Amino acid sequence: NKRVPTTTAYLHFSNEEALFSLFSKLDGHKFIDAKGREYRALIEYAPYQKIPRKKVIDKREGTIEKDPDFIAFQEKLESELNVKVESAEAWLERREQEAMAAKALLSAEGENGAVVQEGV
């Protein structure tokens, strides 16, 4: 059971005759959509008889590309993305070499008479 979407329209009439004419023609009128579903129009008088104000247009909208702070931020992001990152294989190989070097160092210290403690 899907919910049927509704649509709202605000109309402003300059005379009452046009209002009553539209009301008598459209109230209860059946509309059929592309899928064959029927919808009935429902016309009501608005309790608040004023037309909603138009939205205020933001003069700054669409100007961020020209903002010097934003441009600097974008350049910083792009420079950070261009930094070469070590591949997983190279990182693993480097870590294995470090582990082998540490193991060799520990075994060399053990041969020289130094006491090696594991799991301390």
Please give the model's pTM, rounded to 2 decimal places. Answer: 0.32
**Residues 29/40, Cβ–Cβ less than 8 Å:** yes
Place of tokens 């402003």: 12
Of 11, 12, 41, residue with least CA distance to 27? 41
Q: What distance in Å separates the CA atoms of residue 41 and residue 27, rounded to the nearest whole number? A: 6
**pLDDT category, 70, cuts 50, 70, 90?**
very high
53-63: per-residue pLDDT in tens? Answer: 888 888 888 89
Place of tokens 């934003």: 70
**H/E element holding 80?**
helix 68-81
Say which CATH topology domain 1-48 has: Alpha-Beta Plaits (3.30.70)
